[in-house]
Amino acid sequence: MNHDARQTLPPQHPLASGLTGQSRLVRAYRGDRPEVTPVWFMRQAGRSLPEYRELRVGTKMLDACLDPALASEITLQPVRRHGVDAGIFFSDIVVPLKLVGVEVEIVAGRGPVMGKAVRTAADVAELTALDPAVLDAALAPISDAVARTVAALAEIAPRHRVAGEPASVTPLIGFAGAPFTLAAYLVEGGPSKDHLAARALMHSAPEAWADLMRWSAEVTGRFLRAQVLAGASAAQLFDSWAGALSLEDYETHVAPASAHALSFVRDLGYYEPVGDAAADPERVWRSVPIVHFGVGTSELLGAMHAIGADVVGVDYRLALDEGIRRLGGTVPVQGNVDPALLGAPWPVLEAHVLDVLRRGDAAPSHVLNLGHGVPPDTDPEVLSRIVELVHGR
């Protein structure tokens, strides 16, 4: 699939129709610092919310992801409760693997477990015989869920409006797993602390590894593209396990595939009128903003930006202003409140959040988020309180 040329989003898309293009989140992702710092939380939809746990009773994780009405409702829950500046689509990075024909199940307390580990060149050949093009039809439940969510978000205006702030509605962020993280699950057969088998395959069978990464990029790129075309106003690529890699291994064996995955959304955008709308305004091309986030990736930030991301997420292990410095001081950032402090006394957490905001001032723009996901035992009221603090700053 060739994504070199620009492809205009449908006119009813929230970005193209003007609903979300001036939202706090989209402006910040483009490097324009809005009047109010936007905030959302990775894993904000899920186990920390009692309404989520009630809704999920008796439903397996992947079944919930593939039920459009259920996935949409779960996505909307934290937006209603916390007043965050974006919804993050409720799904899982292995959903496109399941839909393309990979045997995978999410085991409670463990995570994604594959029916078979991909350990040899023959295993890779067998896996990559599954055609990613089947996803164009198989992703229909995902597109449906996104469309439902976007329609509901159009009725939810951001809270804490201030004078001079452009009108907008709350945008939806689409997401997908980066090719390395998908490949690591496939090779290891499930979660791993050090990804030794994946890293061994990378070096012992580099051609097979390249085939695996190319295939993973096709699968996850189509997943991300489907979400954007259905109405997501931004796209985030998660590389949960890239922190296991050296910079050299990342640049040589991973970055090309991640860039390929992002090519599935890099060409999508719209023309935004600038100037006097009554006259003949200049039209400026706006691409869909792309965020790249990894865990333990302090040494990889520059390379992660270079694959084609607009925004880089910084995890909690690195001071945010140092991350900004490593990115040259010119890249919008997202992060990086330490999730562990969500359980600390409020004065401790408040001081930490304010410190992160202060450090974020060194970037062109900053989206306040966690340096990883919301822990399941987090008190939801704490998240709401953080939103109030950030919006009232």
Residues with catalytic annotation? 43, 47, 56, 92, 185
- Using alpha carbons only, give the angle 354, 359, 360 rounded to the nearest 5 degrees: 95
Pairing of strands 268-274, 282-287: antiparallel
Is residue 51 exposed (0-12), middle (13-18) or buried (19+ Cβ within 10 Å)?
middle
DSSP-derived 3-state class of residue 327:
coil
- Nearest Cα to Cα of residue 143 among 35, 71, 220: 71
Run of H or E including 198: helix 196-204
DSSP-derived 3-state class of residue 43:
coil
Residues 95, 96, 98, 99: what is their CA dihedral angle, to the nearest 10 degrees? Answer: 120
Q: State the Cα–Cα distance between residues 85 and 312, nearest whole angstrom.
A: 18
DSSP-derived 3-state class of residue 54:
helix
Tokens of 383: 């998240």
Contact (Cβ atoms closer than 8 angstroms) between residue 15 and residue 233:
yes
Tokens of 272: 């935004």
Residues of each annotated binding site for substrate: 43-47, 92, 185, 240, 372
Q: State the Cα–Cα distance between residues 321 and 359, nearest whole angstrom.
A: 5
Q: At what angle do helices 206-230 and 140-153 cross, to 10 degrees?
A: 40
Listed in sequence order, the residues at least 6 apart from 355 whose beta carbon sits closer than 8 Å to its beta carbon are none
Residues of each annotated binding site: 43-47, 92, 185, 240, 372
Listed in sequence order, the residues at least 6 apart from 362 whose beta carbon sits closer than 8 Å to its beta carbon are 320, 321, 324, 325, 329
Listed in sequence order, the residues at least 6 apart from 82 whose beta carbon sits closer than 8 Å to its beta carbon are 41, 44, 380, 383, 384, 387
